[in-house]
Amino acid sequence: MNAMFRGKGWSFGFRTTIMLYFIILIVLPIIGIYTQSFSLGWTPFWESVSDPLAWKSVLLTVKLALIATILNMLLGTMIGWVLIRYRFPGRRLLNSLVDLPFALPTAVGGLMILLLLGPNSLVGGLAGKAGIEIVFHEPAIVIAMLFVTFPFVIRAIQPLLEEMDKSEEEAAYTLGATRAKTFFSVIFPTMLPGILSGAMLAFSRGLAEFGAVVLVAGNIPGKTLIASVYIFGEIESNNPQGAAAVSVLLLTLSFLILWTVNLIQARRNGQ
Amino acid sequence: MIINRATSRRLLTLLLVSVLLLAAAGCGNGSQTEGFGADSSVQDGDVTLVIGAYSVVKDAFADLLPQFQSYWYEKTGQKVTFQESYEASGTQARAIAGGFEADVAILAMEGDLDKIAEAGFITHDWKAQPNNGMITNSIVVLGTRAGNPLGIKDWKDLTRDGVKVLYPNPKTSGGAQWDINAIYGAGLKLSEQKNGSKDPAYAKSFLKAVHANVESLDKSGRASMAAFEYGVGDVIVTYENELLARVKKGVAYEIIVPNSTILIENPAAVVDKNVDKHGTRKVAEAFIAYLQSEEAQRLFVDHGFRPVEEKVAMETANRFELPEDLFDISYLGGWAEVRDSLYSKKGIWYQVLAGL
């Protein structure tokens, strides 16, 4: 088998197919968006991006995605750790539940948040009495982002923990290191690349989230309107160039982030 | 290990299926059945009418379409089946202008029909029809929770601290443009009372003060009403008919008619290019005329709309409260002026949003 795939014809065929697939599926649409955003030249592009409603929505999105990412890093690391290191009944079930947010249409997630945390629900009612506004304000957007990005960090650190050589930890203890010292100088460094790359993925996914957020955010321009919903609104109101311009901002940001992830992973593999 | 993984996978599938079922059941409640178009088989001479309407008439049409079916069957022996689409008015207008082949367009406002006309799909002068092409009227009112706990009486109360207001986004919803027009117009009226002349700056700051209290800008009038039903907000700015229809169903909302508010007029027209393509002009024209008949107008009244047909209007006048200072779109200079001053790219609405 292997010898067959190494043949020249095969190798060429493979490469071409993959390149074509990649170009049609990923590269062309992205080039399309960049061309669309500059279709009327630099000035309209700049006007679309410097519109206060546009950059406020991007700023809000980045801020909330960042909060969601930090929460994800903390909670995701803990959950991943617990799922690998502890044995308890229901662990396998929990482990398979982690991926559910990926399988569920995000709008359903949004609806659930609306029903569970809305003003008529127990939590929402209590929070409302305490003067905390969840639904239609920033907390709900963060929760929606958390929901859709939940698996990333967990799934990124699990293989690292599983791969980890038990003897390293044992050696640390034998050498007289405390539990905390062992954790921070042996275990944590192993998990760190996973936490970081998971967080980057979660961050760029959070930037782009639409379905869940549109239901739970108030969508008031300049206040609770995030970039993806702003872009949708621009398309709806017949301004494809403006929509593309803001998309370019988001895309560039996401691209930079994913590139960083790649660099981190390359360095990890190099070590 | 393998067995365990298999069971967990099975569990996962089970969970997924149950969640999907739940979601499907949730959607099922909301989606409409196709009327009796679905069970009657299409024969020669049958005709299909594609309806592109704004979201608010959906309930009224559920009653009205079967009536038109039997009316048309008696008259011509032809069976009409319907394909119905309900969207926010602006979205619907864009869809039709963009090639959605609706035979008739029923929209929230003139401007949206004009959009279709500008795209070349409506070629006749639709305003030359009876009642200027309008099929229903209504007014913009305020809806509050049962018993009006915050004591809302007029537009001014919406600017108070801590009052949470709902209206949809005028960029996507035609209904919302009526709402914003009403608030802006009420601001103009207030400035007139104070200084004796219309002051756009005063009206703008009035709109800004109300907007500061807005909790959620939904896509359509329907979505906004749905949010209100979820328990969001204290006051909803919406069509009178939306609230009347809910009150009739037993929901205890309070309807507050502001002192000065705008008269809503909803147009309907045959989409020439599509009816000629489908060969449905006759039935489409009959449908539009039918919407203005006494029978249809009574049905609209049952659903909370104000009638345009004179006789029905006389009969039902006592059912509707007449605001002291009712104005129509001409008070704001007509739709062309409103589109230009309020909803253009850097118009008053944009300035309110951007806080300029």
Is the pLDDT confidence value at B7 over 60?
no
Taking the Cβ of residue B12 and every Cβ of chain A, the question of whether any pair is shorter than 8 Å is answered with: yes
Q: Return the number of other C-beta atoms located less than 10 Å from residue B293's C-beta.
A: 15
A37: distance to nearest CA of chain B, Å?
Answer: 18
- The confidence score (pLDDT) of residue B230 equals 83
- Residues B326 and B247 occupy one common structural domain: yes
- The confidence score (pLDDT) of residue A262 equals 81
Interchain contact, B218 vs A219, CB within 8 Å: yes
- The confidence score (pLDDT) of residue B187 equals 95
CA–CA separation, B207 and B124 (whole Å): 37
Point out the residue among B94, B217, B232 whose CB comes nearest to the CB of A238. B94
What does residue B86 show for φ and ψ, rounded to 5 degrees?
-120, 125
Chain A residue numbers touching B164 (CB-CB < 8 A): none
pTM more than 0.90: no
- Residues A85 and A139 occupy one common structural domain: yes
- Residues A96 and A141 occupy one common structural domain: yes
- Residues B200 and B326 occupy one common structural domain: yes
Low-confidence ranges of chain A (pLDDT < 50): none
Taking the Cβ of residue B42 and every Cβ of chain A, the question of whether any pair is shorter than 8 Å is answered with: no
pLDDT in tens, B284-297: 999 999 999 999 99
- Helix A240-270 and helix A188-208, axial crossing angle in degrees, nearest 10: 170
Interchain contact, A108 vs B11, CB within 8 Å: no
- Residues A10 and A126 occupy one common structural domain: no
B200 belongs to a structural domain: yes
Nearest of A36, A136, A91 to residue B5 by alpha carbon? A91
Say if residues B120 and B273 touch (Cβ distance below 8 Å).
yes
pLDDT in tens, A35-76: 988 888 889 899 888 899 999 999 999 999 999 999 999 999
| Vertex B50: Cα angle to B49 and B53 (nearest 5) | 125
CA–CA separation, A146 and A141 (whole Å): 9
Confidence of residue B263 (pLDDT cuts 50, 70, 90): very high
Q: Which of residues 242-271 of B touch A (CB under 8 A)?
A: none
pLDDT in tens, B145-172: 999 999 999 999 999 998 999 999 888 7
- The confidence score (pLDDT) of residue B89 equals 86
- Residues A126 and A17 occupy one common structural domain: no
Interchain contact, B216 vs A111, CB within 8 Å: no
- Residues A70 and A112 occupy one common structural domain: yes
- Residues B151 and B215 occupy one common structural domain: yes
Interchain contact, A114 vs B217, CB within 8 Å: no
Interchain contact, B354 vs A222, CB within 8 Å: yes
How many folded domains does chain B comprise?
2
Nearest of A171, A170, A210, A199 to residue A57 by alpha carbon? A210
Spell out which chain A residues touch chain B, with contact meaning CB-CB distance below 8 angstroms: 51-53, 92-93, 95-97, 99-100, 103-105, 108, 111, 114, 118-120, 135-136, 217-222, 224-225, 233, 236-238
3-state SS string for B87-149: ECHHHHHHHHHCCCCCCEEECCCHHHHHHHHHCCCCCCCHHHCHHHHEEEEEEEEEEECCCCC
What residue of A is the nearest CA neighbor of B224? A218
* Of B50 and B20, more confident: B50
B11 belongs to a structural domain: no
3-state secondary structure of B356: coil
Chain A residue numbers touching B16 (CB-CB < 8 A): 100, 103
Which letter does DSSP use for residue B36 in this model?
Answer: G
DSSP state letters, A15-67: HHHHHHHHIIIIIHHHHHHHHHHTTT-HHHHHHHHHSHHHHHHHHHHHHHHHH
Lookup: tokens for A248: 């370019």
Point out the residue among A108, A219, A238 whose CB comes nearest to the CB of B23. A108
- Residues A32 and A47 occupy one common structural domain: no
Mean pLDDT of B318-339: 91
| Mean model confidence pLDDT for chain B | 86
- Residues B255 and B169 occupy one common structural domain: yes
B4: distance to nearest CA of chain A, Å?
Answer: 8
Chain B residue numbers touching A103 (CB-CB < 8 A): 16
Number of A to B CB contacts under 8 A, please give it: 75
Q: Which CATH number goes with the domain that contains B58?
A: 3.40.190.10
B15: distance to nearest CA of chain A, Å?
Answer: 9
Lookup: tokens for B273: 């290019």
B15 belongs to a structural domain: no
- Residues B292 and B238 occupy one common structural domain: no
Q: Is the dihedral of CA B26, B32, B36, B41 positive or negative?
A: negative
Place of tokens 């004591």: B151
Mark residue B23 as left, alpha or beta (left: phi above 0; alpha: psi -120 to 50; beta: remaining): alpha
Confidence of residue B10 (pLDDT cuts 50, 70, 90): low
Interchain contact, B11 vs A93, CB within 8 Å: yes
Say if residues A205 and A152 touch (Cβ distance below 8 Å).
yes
pLDDT in tens, B41-53: 444 578 999 999 9
- Residues B240 and B288 occupy one common structural domain: no
CA–CA separation, A147 and A129 (whole Å): 25
Point out the residue among B90, B171, B232 whose CB comes nearest to the CB of A119. B232
Taking the Cβ of residue B177 and every Cβ of chain A, the question of whether any pair is shorter than 8 Å is answered with: no
Taking the Cβ of residue B70 and every Cβ of chain A, the question of whether any pair is shorter than 8 Å is answered with: no
Chain B residue numbers touching A90 (CB-CB < 8 A): none
- Residues B305 and B348 occupy one common structural domain: no
- Residues A231 and A174 occupy one common structural domain: yes
Whole-angstrom Cα Rg for chain B? 22
- Residues B149 and B251 occupy one common structural domain: yes
How many folded domains does chain A comprise?
2
B339 belongs to a structural domain: yes
What residue of B is the nearest CA neighbor of A53? B354
- Residues B61 and B114 occupy one common structural domain: yes
Interchain contact, A95 vs B8, CB within 8 Å: yes
- Residues A27 and A153 occupy one common structural domain: no
- Residues B298 and B184 occupy one common structural domain: no
Is the complex ipTM more than 0.85? no
Which amino acid is it at A56?
Answer: K
What does residue B173 show for φ and ψ, rounded to 5 degrees?
-115, 125
Taking the Cβ of residue B339 and every Cβ of chain A, the question of whether any pair is shorter than 8 Å is answered with: no
Point out the residue among B8, B90, B218 whose CB comes nearest to the CB of A96. B8
- Residues B208 and B343 occupy one common structural domain: yes
- The confidence score (pLDDT) of residue B27 equals 42
- Residues A31 and A79 occupy one common structural domain: no
B16 belongs to a structural domain: no
- The confidence score (pLDDT) of residue A3 equals 64
B346: distance to nearest CA of chain A, Å?
Answer: 10
Nearest of A27, A61, A62 to residue A226 by alpha carbon? A61
Q: Which helix (H) or strand (E) is B83 found in, with range?
A: strand B80-87
Is the pLDDT confidence value at B37 over 90?
no
Burial category of B43 from C-beta neighbours within 10 Å (exposed 0-12, middle 13-18, buried 19 and up): exposed
Q: Which residues pair with B143 in a beta bridge?
A: B236, B255
- Residues A24 and A95 occupy one common structural domain: no
Q: Which of residues 75-104 of B touch A (CB under 8 A)?
A: 90-91, 94
Q: Which CATH number goes with the domain that contains A239?
A: 1.10.3720.10
Domain that holds residue A192: 43-270
Residues in chain B, how many? 356
Domain that holds residue B181: 137-264+322-354
- Residues A163 and A203 occupy one common structural domain: yes
A144: distance to nearest CA of chain B, Å?
Answer: 16
Lookup: tokens for A261: 């992830």
Taking the Cβ of residue B11 and every Cβ of chain A, the question of whether any pair is shorter than 8 Å is answered with: yes
- Residues A24 and A105 occupy one common structural domain: no
Q: Is the dihedral of CA A202, A207, A208, A209 positive or negative?
A: positive
Which amino acid is it at B287?
Answer: F
Which letter does DSSP use for residue B78 in this model?
Answer: P
